[in-house]
């Protein structure tokens, strides 16, 4: 008994050492996405810097890290977060503020980091890693004709059948407005201007309501990213909004007859943030700078169809095509940022949603309850 307890004690001591020191812990979303991060830039960075990088899964939101800080035992160094969370986290002092051009390396051609990234950061605590798209896709076996525009998504006369849309208001209101004729304008400014008014919100809600109550249409609400391709493949819906990486995996990875439509796509971002008071802040900062440099960011696009944030990373990919891990698929045309895909798009506005998320969420739920 004594021996056993001694052994346990030693073991726990050893474990606590190995897990607390000499390792940087990154909290991310898990699944194929974390896999792409780990293989694309996590492991190479760890090897170069000679530190260990651990990846842990979490399901989003700041509640866990806030609880860790309140308890005085922060276990994460870096977090992969939405734009809205970087703003809230920065405001609440959860994350470290960056001196962007000093903390992050310039592009190979000397362009400073702040100019190399696709757009500016929503807060001082954020550094971008990927851009993904909220677009829609259809199953070519079940749809007669070819939907091309966002209007076609709402056109149940021409393309009858159920649609799958995201369970909350985010991006649904935007595409509803775009489909009712609002031109997104630069980065979607017009859409958000319209959504700032009662009338605009009502118009968007009505558009969704019409689609969902239409006997020829109807809605299925999805909550997990794996659902849209699944719903399309099973024939449960004819069109679905979703994340482009998931559609890409279904088409290229699994050979499903799924076609993506990029008209009025919503470009959204993922960011890294450095947790204040994390177990190994100094190493975490070093690792973060390396993981987000040109070479490394391009690495993750080998494994998933999300675009690296840096413009210079795209150049690296172009030079290295076929970039996809199967060795025969060109990756650049599948990027949400490819010129052919960004003819008509909006940038999901985190500040708008940080401001109005709760109220619009309530209105959205009230609308859904009346369906």
Closest to 292 measured CA to CA, from 101, 57, 52: 101
Taken as a whole, the chain contains a residue count of: 371
Which one, 90 or 275, has the nearer CB to another protein? 90
Q: How far is the CB of 1 from another protein (least distance, A)?
A: 19
Which one, 1 or 224, has the nearer CB to another protein? 224
Q: Spell out the long-range contacts of 362-369 with Cβ–Cβ below 8 A and sequence spacing 24 or more.
A: 363/169, 363/201, 363/205, 364/168, 364/169, 364/172, 364/173, 364/205, 367/205, 367/208, 367/209, 368/221
Which one, 98 or 323, has the nearer CB to another protein? 98
Which one, 8 or 366, has the nearer CB to another protein? 366
Q: How far is the CB of 201 from another protein (least distance, A)?
A: 9
Q: How far is the CB of 99 from another protein (least distance, A)?
A: 16
Which one, 69 or 283, has the nearer CB to another protein? 69
By three-state DSSP, how is residue 35 classified? helix
Strands (E), 4-51: 23-28
Which one, 265 or 356, has the nearer CB to another protein? 356
DSSP notation for 204-255? HHHHHHHHHH-TT--EEEE-STTHHHHHHHHTS-SEEEEEHHHHHIIIIIT-
Which one, 14 or 56, has the nearer CB to another protein? 56
Cis peptide before 179 (omega within 30 of 0): no
Positions that interact with another protein (CB under 8 A)? 59-63, 66, 84, 88, 90-93, 162, 167, 212, 219-221, 223-224, 234-236, 351, 354-363, 365-369, 371
Which one, 71 or 319, has the nearer CB to another protein? 71
Burial 73-91 (b: 16+ CB within 10 A, else e): ebbbbbbbbbbbbbbbbbe
Q: How far is the CB of 352 from another protein (least distance, A)?
A: 8
CA 90 to CA 106: how far, in whole Å? 24
Q: How far is the CB of 11 from another protein (least distance, A)?
A: 24
Phi/psi for 264 (5° steps) reads: 55, 40
Burial 242-260 (b: 16+ CB within 10 A, else e): bbbbbbbbbbbbeebebbb
CA 284 to CA 234: how far, in whole Å? 43
Which one, 41 or 82, has the nearer CB to another protein? 82
Which one, 19 or 142, has the nearer CB to another protein? 142
The dihedral formed by the CA atoms of 314, 316, 320 and 321, expressed in degrees to the nearest 10: 10
Q: How far is the CB of 225 from another protein (least distance, A)?
A: 13
C-alpha dihedral sign at 245, 141, 338, 268: negative
CA 256 to CA 239: how far, in whole Å? 14
CA 329 to CA 109: how far, in whole Å? 27
């Amino acid at each position: 008994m004594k021996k056993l307890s001694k052994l346990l004690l030693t073991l726990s001591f050893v474990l606590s050492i190995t897990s607390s020191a000499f390792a940087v812990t990154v909290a991310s979303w898990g699944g194929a996405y974390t896999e792409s991060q780990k293989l694309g830039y996590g492991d190479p960075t760890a090897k170069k810097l000679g530190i260990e990088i651990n990846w842990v899964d979490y399901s989003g939101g700041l509640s866990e890290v806030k609880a860790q800080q309140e308890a005085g035992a922060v276990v994460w160094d870096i977090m992969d977060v939405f734009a809205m969370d970087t703003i809230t986290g920065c405001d609440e002092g959860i994350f470290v503020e960056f001196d962007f051009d000093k903390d992050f390396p310039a592009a190979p051609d000397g362009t400073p980091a702040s100019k190399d990234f696709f757009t500016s950061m929503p807060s001082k605590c954020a550094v971008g890693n990927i851009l993904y798209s909220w677009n829609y896709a259809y199953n070519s076996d079940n749809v007669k004709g070819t939907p091309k525009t966002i209007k076609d998504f709402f056109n149940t006369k021409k393309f009858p059948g159920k649609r799958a849309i995201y369970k909350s208001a985010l991006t649904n209101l935007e595409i509803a407005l775009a489909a009712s004729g609002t031109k997104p304008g630069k980065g979607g400014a017009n859409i958000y201007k319209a959504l700032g008014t009662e009338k605009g919100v009502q118009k968007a809600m009505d558009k969704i309501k019409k689609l969902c109550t239409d006997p020829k249409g109807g809605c299925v609400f999805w909550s997990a990213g794996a659902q849209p391709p699944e719903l399309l493949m099973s024939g449960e819906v004819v069109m679905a909004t979703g994340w482009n990486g998931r559609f890409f995996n279904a088409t290229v990875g699994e050979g499903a007859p799924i076609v993506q439509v990029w008209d009025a796509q919503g470009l959204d971002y993922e960011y890294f943030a450095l947790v204040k008071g994390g177990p190994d802040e100094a190493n975490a900062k070093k690792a973060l700078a390396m993981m987000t440099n040109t070479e490394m960011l391009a690495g993750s696009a080998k494994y998933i169809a999300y675009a690296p944030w840096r413009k210079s990373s795209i150049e690296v990919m172009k030079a290295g095509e076929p970039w996809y891990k199967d060795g025969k698929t060109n990756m650049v045309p599948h990027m949400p940022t490819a010129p052919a895909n960004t003819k008509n798009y909006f940038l999901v506005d985190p500040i708008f949603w940080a401001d109005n998320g709760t109220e619009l969420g309530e209105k959205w739920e009230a609308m859904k309850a009346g369906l």
